[in-house]
Amino acid sequence: MAKLLIDRDPKSPISEAYRTLRTNIQFSSVDKPIQTLVVTSSGATEGKSTTASNIAASFTQMGKSVVLVDADLRRPRLAKMFDLSNREGLSSVLYQKEDVFKQIRKVEGMHVLPSGPIPPNPAEMLSSDRMKNVVDSLKAAYDYVIIDSPPVSYVTDGAILSSICDGTLLVVAAGQTDQRMAIAAKEQLDKVSANILGVVLTKIPTKGRGYYKYHYSNLYSYKEYKK
């Protein structure tokens, strides 16, 4: 069975919400199209990996070439999510100078770069010139590079990645994210001049039957927050 809801049930309102998110990302920047995108949040388990995966699948569904990168070198999840081996991946590319394209796996029409083994120095690895080169090579080869990352409030990894990518999405979980943490996360990202495209609100409790009982995601324009 397909791993992601957007593949499993494309007609559900949740899948529709991810497609809206995709459209908003596509049209979020007129002058400089967004090709490399970091998905981050202030704290843990707010929905970063789920959001990043479904956005990647959503772009894949519209015929774009997409690579989904697990740059959460602290609590990686994508290998597990897609039933892939995590013996090698991004960390092997950075550490052992493996060819990045050899580490990309094809699963359900998607291209996924797992994290590889957890290194002792994730922030150092992600801030290396080599990481920047990896992102540039992927950008040259794919229409979209979607990067999953750790929470920005605890570690600098998310901010580091944001500084080398075209855009950043900040995931905020309804009823879970602490307001002060969300503000702190935004400040962290501002410090590195991240291009925050918007806030994705996850885990919204909704009323009604069927899928409406569950939660869906939405992208709110960041312009409102910038004022």
Residues that bind ligand ATP (CB under 6 A): 41, 44-50, 72, 75, 77, 151, 202-203, 215, 217
The pairing of strands 218-221 and 196-202 is: antiparallel
Residue 11 or residue 227: which is nearer to ligand ATP going by CB?
11
Residue 51 or residue 61: which is nearer to ligand ATP going by CB?
51
Closest contact distance (angstroms) between CB of 211 and Mg ion is: 23
Q: Under DSSP, is residue 69 helix (H, G, I), strand (E, B) or coil?
A: strand
Closest contact distance (angstroms) between CB of 122 and Mg ion is: 13
Residue 41 interface partner, choices Mg ion, ligand ATP, none, CB cut-off 5-8 Å depending on type: ligand ATP
Residue 49 or residue 188: which is nearer to Mg ion going by CB?
49
Closest contact distance (angstroms) between CB of 127 and ligand ATP is: 19
Closest contact distance (angstroms) between CB of 50 and Mg ion is: 8
Residues forming contacts to Mg ion in the complex (CB under 5 A) are: 48-49, 77
Q: How many residues belong to the chain?
A: 227
Closest contact distance (angstroms) between CB of 25 and ligand ATP is: 16
SS (H, E, C) 8-62: HCCCCHHHHHHHHHHHHHHCCCCCCCCCEEEEEECCCCCCHHHHHHHHHHHHHHC
Residue 91 interface partner, choices Mg ion, ligand ATP, none, CB cut-off 5-8 Å depending on type: none
Residue 8 or residue 80: which is nearer to Mg ion going by CB?
80
How far is it, in rounded angstroms, from Cα 74 to Cα 163? 19
Residue 170 or residue 213: which is nearer to Mg ion going by CB?
170
Residue 166 interface partner, choices ligand ATP, Mg ion, none, CB cut-off 5-8 Å depending on type: none
How far is it, in rounded angstroms, from Cα 215 to Cα 13? 9
Closest contact distance (angstroms) between CB of 157 and Mg ion is: 12
- Which spans in the chain are helix H? 5-8, 13-26, 48-61, 78-81, 90-95, 122-126, 129-141, 157-163, 179-191, 223-226
**CB-based contact 123:99 (threshold 8 Å):** no
Residue 76 or residue 167: which is nearer to ligand ATP going by CB?
76
How far is it, in rounded angstroms, from Cα 124 to Cα 117? 15
